[in-house]
Every structure is written in structure tokens, then in C-alpha cells.
Amino acid sequence: MIDEYSRELRFGRNLSPETVRAYAGDLVRLAEWFDGTLSEATRETLRGFLMHETARGLDSRSLSRLVSAMHSFGSWLSETGRAGADPSVGIRPPAGSRKLPGFLSIREVLAVLDVYDCSTPIAARNRALLEVLYGCGLRASEAANLTLTGFSPLERTLRVTGKGGRTRISPLPSGTTVHLENWISRRHVLLGSRQDTGHVFLSVRGRKLDPRDIRRIVAAAVDGAALSAGVSPHTFRHSFATHLLERGAGLREVQELLGHAGLGTTQIYTHLTGERLMKSYRNAHPRGRSAH
């Protein structure tokens, strides 16, 4: 059965040989652990195996791949009639195996921001957008939905509407405020004679930017700064949170600034900054490295 499934992955779904081997290896371990044929595996079976692999110390990346293999195989079992229902529905990686978010150093953030010199209205818009993503830790959707009425240059704040329609007031760094005011003074160039929707960031056609536009702007800036690909608007959000925590901000304050509904979501950053603290300790302390 695993051989048939592997052929479907390789030739039917055109997955790479490496991915096929990895998925097949996961299923071989499942078959060795499970006392029965794989077509008889239930959701409880898969959860039990996932707990077993977690207990034996499988790293977070391997656990995530295992869950992906389970979903792919479960779907195949159901589609081919080998199982009545997909047993992988509802299977998720263990909470502790969540991938830590990537982030940029301060030097890298500044390099990306400096890609846009504000010499044109588009460059001014892009610089202001990047400044807001990092200066306020916004999601791409939140930046897209910012309105002129929510910007207070005197108080240096933005009114942000986040997930679930929750509204928060985000403080603005002084430099971000300057770039935002510069862009707003020039946005009429893109608006032209079109009706103004009141959104802060506009496309070249005078419409509000959508999150896909924002991702493209970020990708272009990252390319211009000669940084590695894969940096997204969310990377700026993660960098915002990480840099605040590294400089002494409290977890509860960062939670409010990010607009997280619960503290649990924000706590992932404590692992991130904790790892960096331990690395710095090992490198800097005379007894931090193994003694011989």
C-alpha cells in the first residue's frame, strides 16, 4: 500500500523524490508501530503515533512533516476507497512543536527600509508602508485596512482593526510618523479624480492596497536589500515583537501591541528570545562553553 501511495505522490502529484521518501519513511514507522493494516488506522491511531514520536524526541520540523504525511495519506485512503473516511481530519502538530517565527536583525530591517528613498510618490508610499509594518508590528491585512481618520499625527498613534474586528490604538515611532505624513501629503497623486475611500495606502489605480500587494512590495524591498528570500510582512511583525522583548518590554504589553486575543499566542516569542539569550551566554561567558 505504501508503494502504491508513493507512486501516486511521485507520478500523480509530481512531488520530489526526497519528499516521497520522507513521507514513505514516516508511514513505514507508523506501520511498524501500528498493530494492523494502515487502511484500518483511525484518528486515534494517528494521534497515538504522533504522541509516540513526540515522546521519543522527534524535532518540530519532523513532526510537522509527519502530520503533513498523515493528511496526505489519509486523503488518499479516502479518495481511493481504502477507508470510509479520512482518518487524518483534525490531526495537528503538538502545541510545543510550533515553528518559531523568523525575524530580522535591526541592521537588516534598516537595510530593507532604506531601499525606498521617497523620491517618488510610489517610493514614499512603500517606505511608509514598511515603516508601519515594523514600527507597529501590523499584519498585512491590518496595514491594508488603515484609514486616514485612524491616524493621529499629533498623538502619534494609529487606530488598527485586527482579527475578529478588535480595535486597538498603536503608538507610532517618530520616524514612522514623519514617513507616514510624507506619504499622505502625496497620496492624491495616485488617487487622481477617483473617489477617495479614505484608506491610507493606495495602489497605482487609486484603490486600497490588498495584502497581496503588500507582500509584493516587501519582497521587492528584501530583494533590493540583497537579503535572503522568504521575508514576508509577518517577518516585520515578528521582528517588532522580538526587538521589543529583547529591550525589556513586558510580554503583556507586547501582546496588546500585537493585538493577540490571548497571552498564549505571544508566549512563543519568549522561546525565541530565550534561545538567543542562551546562545549569547554560551558565547560570552568564560564558562559558557564546554571545558576540557
Q: Is 163 a catalytic residue?
A: yes
Q: Is 234 a catalytic residue?
A: yes
Candidate list 127, 237, 238, 243, residue with the active-site label: 237
Q: Mark whether 165 and 26 lie in a shared domain.
A: no
From first to last of its 292 residues, the chain has per-residue pLDDT tens of: 899 999 998 888 888 888 889 899 999 999 888 877 888 888 888 988 888 888 777 777 788 888 888 988 988 998 898 888 888 888 887 665 455 557 888 999 999 999 998 999 999 999 999 999 999 999 999 999 999 999 999 999 999 998 888 899 999 999 999 999 999 999 999 998 899 999 999 999 999 999 999 999 999 998 888 786 678 898 899 899 989 988 888 888 888 899 887 776 776 676 555 555 555 556 666 765 544 4
Main-chain dihedrals φ then ψ at residue 170, nearest 5 degrees: -110, 125
Q: Mark whether 79 and 136 lie in a shared domain.
A: no
What's the pTM? 0.62
Parallel/antiparallel/unpaired status of strands 151-152 and 157-161: antiparallel
Q: Is 237 a catalytic residue?
A: yes
Candidate list 98, 156, 186, 260, residue with the active-site label: 260
Single residue among 63, 97, 131 that ends a domain in this structure: 97
Candidate list 127, 234, 238, 243, residue with the active-site label: 234
Q: Is 194 a catalytic residue?
A: no
Count of domains forming the chain? 2
Range of the domain at 125: 106-279
The pairs formed by 148-154 with CB atoms below 8 angstroms and a separation of 24 or more are: 148/184, 148/198, 148/199, 148/200, 149/198, 150/200, 151/180, 151/184, 151/200, 153/177, 153/180, 153/181
| Distance (Å, whole) CA 27 – CA 46 | 10
Candidate list 163, 212, 271, 282, residue with the active-site label: 163
- DSSP-assigned letter for residue 10: I
Candidate list 139, 199, 238, 282, residue with the active-site label: 139
